[in-house]
Amino acid sequence: MSGGSWTTLVVTVLIVIVLLVTAVLVSRHTGGDGTGTSAPALVVGDSVVALAARAAGGAEGGGVAGGGAAGAPAGISVTDGVRARSSGMAGTVRLIGYPGLSPEVFDGTSSPLLASDLRSAGRPRTVVLNWNGNNPRQLLGTSLIVDYRTELTSQIRWYLGHGVTRVVLAAALPSLVNSADRQVDVSSPLSAQPGAMLGSGRLNEMYRQLAGAFGGRSVRYSEQAARAIHPSLGFNTTLDGRPCVIDFIHPTPYCATRYARALAALAHDPDGT
């Protein structure tokens, strides 16, 4: 083989190596499946998510805007600007909360809010769902759990059919009435009272089972975000010597900001602990 041919071969091999290394680095950075700190992500939930979004927007300078279609309950969305700035990544997380509502807000998958929220987040590959037990129709606890499971099953299938590759079911936060050492009986009439199902351990048990029902890596259950402000998953009113809870479940601005960061971290690293 001539000297020129050898030079061409070496250059070609070097180019191939560079391309392969670049591909590996990009794959590691984004999680290989559209996840990672450079990829957009979406967090959807109730008033706890709305408070986290508002706290992050006020404390960190993220943009806060109304979400959802006209005539629909206002969702609150915020770009996780601090994470993007501190890590040097372009990835953002949208937090959208529907105060006082449940997964039923999407009416299975028929509501235009579902697609609207996904578009507003830049058509992400990762979606975190964080519903903490609102019961607007005052159903018996057992019925509410069935209702949540039915709605979430339909929505997860919709997400997975519209470009999302990972769905995380984030544990409901513990509350004054549902904590590590006490739980409202989900079969009792008391469970239908306002606030009685917030933070229910039975809800979290259902989330874990639902994630398992999908199998594989596409859907998982996580307590990571909840433990960021309730380390033992027991209801506590203070954290780091500061007030953490406003009422029976909603976090103070300090804990709401921590919770927003934890949700963003979970969205960017759905396989994290």
CA 87/CA 11 separation, integer angstroms: 34
* Extended beta strands in 111-197, E state: 126-130, 166-170
- The confidence score (pLDDT) of residue 1 equals 56
Quick one: how far is CA 58 from the chain centroid? Answer: 20
Indicate the DSSP class of residue 105.
G
Phi, psi of 167 (to 5 degrees): -125, 130
Which tokens sit at 259? 């919770």
23-28 CB contacts, 8 Å cutoff, 24+ apart:
none
CB 38 within 8 A of CB 94: no
Number of other residues whose CB lies within 10 A of the CB of residue 61: 12
Q: Which residues of the chain have pLDDT under 70?
A: 1-38, 58-91, 272-273
CA 43/CA 53 separation, integer angstroms: 10
CA distances from 229 to 46, 86, 131, 226 (A): 17, 22, 16, 6
pLDDT, tens digit (0-9, with 9 covering 90-100), for 12-59: 444 434 334 333 333 333 444 555 556 899 999 999 999 999 998 754
- The confidence score (pLDDT) of residue 109 equals 93
> What is the C-alpha end-to-end distance of the chain, expressed in Å?
55
Query: Which string of b and e fits 38-59 if b means at least 16 CB within 10 Å?
Result: bbbbbbbbbbbbbbbbbbbbee
- The confidence score (pLDDT) of residue 271 equals 76
CA distances from 51 to 33, 57, 78, 263 (A): 30, 10, 11, 12
The vertex-95 CA angle with 91 and 101, nearest 5°, equals 160
pLDDT, tens digit (0-9, with 9 covering 90-100), for 58-92: 543 333 333 333 333 334 444 443 332 222 223 68
